[in-house]
Structure 1
């Protein structure tokens, strides 16, 4: 499984790269703090797979990286080959990039 670090994600965001960010946490978690990605909770990832691009890189994130890894495994079984897991999730983002970010 491909993974990227929070530093690599920040570089992509800062450069304005064309990619899709998918957040698979639950709605209440997303409302607490998010990085501006599209919210598709893990439970509905296959139902809403049509919202996930196959034509450009996709970064999948959650709180720590475990749920996003599970989402990627499910999507790869559906033929996706363009997915990367955000290593450490939003907890790593708060620890390394934005200590002001609310985490739970």
Structure 2
């Protein structure tokens, strides 16, 4: 599955879709601003949270960070763990805020 653009994400949010969004930034970054409905799991804590995310393995999961680097790592990690539909937010939270 290809990555997702900020415009597509906003369009789907406005349509009222229920989305699985994971913010892999640090808690202090999340406190400065967040995407509505996102769950904050810092990249370093992701391996310890796999049990909580198990039910999402076959659902679409959108990951984001500030610019796209950490979330690319999160996408690769989750794919290795058997997640079948992980999408990275292109440009991260910075691009989302500007779109």
Answer whether TM exceeds 0.5 for this pair. Answer: yes
Query: Where in structure 2 are the equivalents of 1:1-104 lying within 5 Å?
Result: 2-36=2-36, 37-52=38-53, 53-96=56-99
Q: CA distance change for structure 1 residues 79 and 39 in 2, over 3 Å: closer, same or farther?
A: same
TM-score of the two chains, using structure 2 as the length reference: 0.90
Aligned pairs, number:
96
**Are the counterparts in 2 of residues 56 and 82 from structure 1 also a CA contact under 8 Å?**
yes
Cα deviation, residue 15, structure 1: 1.1
User: Which 4+ runs in 1 deviate beyond 2 A?
Assistant: none
Name which of structure 1's ranges 46-55 and 35-44 shifts more when overlaid on structure 2: 46-55
Deviation at 1:55, TM superposition (A): 3.8
1:22–1:60 Cα contact (<8 Å) kept:
yes
Supply the RMSD in Å over aligned alpha carbons: 1.3
Answer yes or no: is the 8 Å Cα contact 2:58–2:83 preserved in 1: no
Give, in angstroms, the shift of residue 54 of structure 1: 1.8
